[in-house]
Amino acid sequence: MKLTLEEVEHIADLARLCLTDEEKEQYCYQLSAILEYATRLQTLDTSGIPPTSSVLPEHAALREDVSGQSLPVDVILSNAPSIEKNQFRIPPVFE
């Protein structure tokens, strides 16, 4: 599946990215390659594989859950498009 530049621009807009023309071309190529690979994967016969199978061992080693230092609020909110009362401000979901 080949993406158009317009589709890449739309995706960048949704992700709030400002891309140069060169980056748009690069992402157009890269994202198209990813989608083509996903299409190839869909042709594999997975009928004999249970939907809950995993490549990980049955008991994967997990790190210990330890509390740590949090980031400062100003750092967390530095890339937010809109802030109100030291919180992310988002458009209302219901009106």
pLDDT value at residue 26: 96
**Banded model confidence at residue 95, pLDDT cuts 50, 70, 90:** low
72-87: per-residue pLDDT in tens?
999 999 989 999 999 9
Interhelix angle 5-14/21-41, rounded to 10 degrees, is: 100
21-49: per-residue pLDDT in tens?
999 999 999 999 999 999 999 999 988 88
End-to-end Cα distance, the chain: 37
Domain 1-44 maps to which CATH number in 3.90.550.50, 2.40.440.10, 1.10.20.60, 3.30.70.270?
A: 1.10.20.60
Q: Given its phi and psi angles, is residue 75 left (phi above 0), alpha (psi -120 to 50 degrees) or beta?
A: alpha
DSSP-assigned beta bridge partners for residue 84: 87
